[in-house]
Structures are given as C-alpha cells and as structure tokens.
Structure 1
Amino acid sequence: MTVVSFIADVVLGAALGVMGGLFGIGGGVIAIPVLGLVFGMNQPLAQGTALVMVAPNVIVGFWQYHRRNHLDMRMVALLCLSAILFTYLGARMATVVDADALRTAFAFFLIALTAFFAWRLLRGRATRARVVLARPWAIVVGMLGGLTSGLFGVGGGVIAAPALTGLFGVTQAAAQGFSLALVSPGALVALGTYAAADLVDWHTGIPLALGGILSIPWGVALAHRLPERKLRLLFCGLLLTTALLMLQSR
C-alpha cells in the first residue's frame, strides 16, 4: 500500500464516519457497496472488511449519543446481550451462502426498510418520549438486529431504530444511540467470524477505521442539529440509494 492510497482510504473512512454518526449505523451500510464497486470486492469480503471500520465506529458513536441523550443502560444491556449470539449465527450463515444471492437479499432488505420509514413519515405522527412495550421486548429487537448485523455485515442498527421509535416511543436520536449499542458487541463477534473465514482485507479496513474514528463525532453532532423529520427523510434516501447501488453491482 502506497502513502497516497493509505491517505485516500483514511479520507474515505472519515467521510463514511460522518455518515455513520449522522444516521447511527457506524458507516457500514455505505462502506459495503463502496468496497464492492470501487475496490472490486465480493459481498462477503466487503462485509468483513467494512466491519474493521464499523467495530470501533459504533463504540465511539454510542458513547457520543449516550453523552447527549443519557441512554437507559438497562435497555442498552438487554439489546447488547440478546444481539451477541444471533450476530454470530448470522455471520456464520454469511460465510457459506452464495455471494450474489446475499447481495440481492441485502438490497431488498434495505428497500423494505426504506418503504417502512417512508410510510412512517407519510403518517406524519410525531414521536413521543414514552415506552409502550415492556422492556423484555428489547430482547426481541436485539435478536433480530443481531441476526441482520451478522448476516449482512450491517443492518442491526437500521432494524433497531424504527422498532425503538415505533414500539418504545423514543426519539430518533436516542433510537440511533440504542442502535449503536446493539451492534457494538456484535460487530466485534462478526468481525472475528469473518476474519476466521479469511474474509477481511485488513490493508483497506484499518485506514478506513482510522478515518471513521476521527470523524464520527461530527456526524453525531450534526444528527442532533437536524429536525427529526428531516433526519428520517435523509435516512430513507440513504437506504434507497445503497440498495440501488447493490442491485446495480450484481
């Protein structure tokens, strides 16, 4: 790796870190199609390499959201513990399935999430800070989030955010903080699983991670400056764009 390519990867990681902090996803949902289209990686390798950046990003991002929102640590613990096992199971599945099938499934998964978010925006109902389901339901959210995190390399955060806003009644910014908490331990488990299967490009992943660690606090700060409706609308655009890129790169 040349100095120029290393710096370019750090800059790319910084850009992804801002986006990851803004949307509470760690940046992987954007990094995966970039690694596929620009670096020519297949889907499992792109997911494993993206996790090198995502793992530290989600930890830094969670801490930044917690500082601003004072997240309920009991809810954080439930989400984390329930996600760990299912992240491992999803990552194991991802290392043995067909790469093209996985890419297509991932794209349609994002399209479904986009439709869900758009439907909520069209309803036009404001989120109220209340809990409408018992805390044990957080275990179910953690299980589903962990499974999608392991299977798709990302996904747990974008599953958890709409579930927490729609079912638990928390604000979008707080939900994004909880989402990062959910994927934090699971990202490390998934990274280890992909690495054991030799599906990680460390030379690309490490500079991406360095850039993301430096920039993700900027994205978190921006998320707290934007109106909630605008933040959700931007999230819809992000997911749909990513899905279309995934389908185009098949």
Structure 2
Amino acid sequence: MQGMLDPAHLLMALLIGASLGFVGGVFGIGGGIVAVPLLVLGFGLDQPIAQGTALVLMAPNLLVGWWRYHQRHPMGWRAIAAIALSAALTTWLIAHMATRMDPQVLRAIFSVFMVLLALRLLRTAQQPQTPQAERRLDLRVLPLVGLVGGCSMGPLGIGGGLMAGPLLSGWLGQRQTTAQGLSLALVAPSSVVALATYASAHQVDWAWGVPLALGGVLTVSAGVALAHRLPEKPMRWSFAVILMATALWLAVGPQAAAR
C-alpha cells in the first residue's frame, strides 16, 4: 500500500474520504471509527497502520472543528490546558506501546471498544433527555478526564471524546455545550500527538491518508448541516447498529476469509 497511488486509486481515496467526512459530520465523529475497519478489511492494512492512516483524516477535521466550536462557545484557557495537556501526554505514552503491539491483539481491542460503544449508544437512545443545572467546573479533576480520553486515543487513535463526554456531562455535571467543547479540546491535540507517534514508528500510509483527509474536509460541513435536520434517536440507533456489525466483522472477517 505504500508509495504513490495511481490515478484510479487516488480518485477512490478521495471519494472514500469524502464519504467518511460526510458520515463523520452526520454522526459527530472524526471518521476514524469507520475508516479503520474499512482500511483493514477493504484494503488489507495492518491494524496499527490503519489507525495511523485514519489519524491523517481525523487530525485536521478535529482541529478545525474545535477552533470553530471554541469561537461559538469560548471557555477558559486554564480548563482547556488542564484537559488537553494531560490527554496529549497520556496519548503519547500509550501510543508508543500501541505501535509495537501485535496487530491481531490491537484489532481485538478495537473491536471490543466498538461493541461497548454501540451498546452505550443503544442504552442512551432509550433514555429520555432531561436538562440539568450546570455545576461549577472543578479544574482539579479535568486532568483525570484527559487521562481517560488519552487512554483511548493512545492505543486506538479514536474515542477520546466519546469517553470524556459522559464524564463531563454526567460526573462533573456540565452542560452539553461545555462537555462538547472540552471533549474537542481533548481530542484535537491528542489526535496530532497520536499521528506524530504513529508516523515516527512508520505506521502511517500517507499515500492513502492525505487524499482521505482532503476528501473529508470537503464534505464534513455538509454532514453537519444534515445532522441538524435529522431526528436524533433514529440516528443513534442506526449508528449503533452499524458499529456493532462492523465490530463483529472486524473480529471474525479475517478468520472467515482465511478458511
């Protein structure tokens, strides 16, 4: 997979990136959780290289998304620094181990994470959304939230915001806008750190990653615009089903193909 792509594969990578950017915008994700299984199952990349390549797609989208969100919902730089620095440091430490991990083990961990995420989405889709008063944000515990998010971003390259969001809104009692903003402040720098770590370990296929990222940047805004027009509960259900099916195929697909 390494090296320059021919025109046909380059066009394919741009179209896939555009599709992933659109899906990421609709469901509010960086796109990596869909890109990684696609790169593993569809194009035969090893799990670590697929995760590193997906980070090329995710990092610019997350940085732009965080900055735009911060412009609309500004928050204190002390809070941003507390969660971002702890997450980035944890990501850096664990990503070094992940790049040396057996691809089969890493794929199994990734699959389990996707199943757990799907089950959580199904559970939250059944619960009524009740507004709550926002509590005073305790800056002393934000590094712990960053550590939890970094423990996901380091080995998997994804999921930092999905892990931090419930902690910020549930445990710390923050409004959804605050939780979302701090989650983006966590994952945006962590994605850059994870990408740099995977790249230094030669676990990134840039020939695929760059056109994926270019395609994604062109369509993510359209996905976000569509998301505001769709009902939330059916979206959660459909996304959870997609994650569950993809996780199961990621776990059993290679064994079934080898028979």
Same-fold call, TM cutoff 0.5: yes
The separation in 2 between residues aligned to 1:139 and 1:225, in whole angstroms, is 35
Distance 1:242 1:176, change over 3 A: farther
Is residue 8 of structure 2 the alignment partner of residue 4 of structure 1? Answer: yes
Is residue 216 of structure 2 the alignment partner of residue 212 of structure 1? Answer: yes
1:143-182 equivalences in 2 (<5 Å): 143-170=147-174, 175-182=179-186
The separation in 2 between residues aligned to 1:174 and 1:249, in whole angstroms, is 39
Is residue 97 of structure 2 the alignment partner of residue 100 of structure 1? Answer: no
Distance 1:234 1:49, change over 3 A: same
The separation in 1 between residues aligned to 2:139 and 2:229, in whole angstroms, is 29
SS at match of 1:126: coil
Alignment-derived partner of residue 72 in structure 1: 75
1:1-250 equivalences in 2 (<5 Å): 1-68=5-72, 70-74=73-77, 75-128=79-132, 130-131=134-135, 134-170=138-174, 175-250=179-254
SS at match of 2:202: coil
The separation in 1 between residues aligned to 2:141 and 2:93, in whole angstroms, is 20
Give yes or no for contact 1:26–1:61 (8 Å, CA) kept in 2. Answer: no
Distance 1:172 1:121, change over 3 A: farther
Distance 1:177 1:232, change over 3 A: farther
Q: Which aligned segments of 4 or more residues in structure 1 are displaced greater than 6 angstroms?
A: none
- The TM-score with structure 2 as length reference comes to 0.85
Aligned Cα RMSD in Å?
A: 2.4
Distance 1:129 1:81, change over 3 A: farther
One-letter code aligned to 1:32: V
* Unaligned 5+ runs, structure 2: 255-259
Q: Deviations 1:106-130 (Å, cap 9, x if unpaired)? A: 1112212222333333332424362
The separation in 2 between residues aligned to 1:136 and 1:234, in whole angstroms, is 37
Q: Deviations 1:144-180 (Å, cap 9, x if unpaired)? A: 1112111012121221223233234455566444333
The separation in 1 between residues aligned to 2:58 and 2:75, in whole angstroms, is 23
Q: Rg bigger for which structure? A: 2
One-letter code aligned to 1:145: G
- The TM-score with structure 1 as length reference comes to 0.88
Distance 1:218 1:128, change over 3 A: farther
State percent identity of aligned pairs.
46
One-letter code aligned to 2:125: L
Number of residues paired by the alignment?
A: 249
The separation in 1 between residues aligned to 2:100 and 2:167, in whole angstroms, is 29
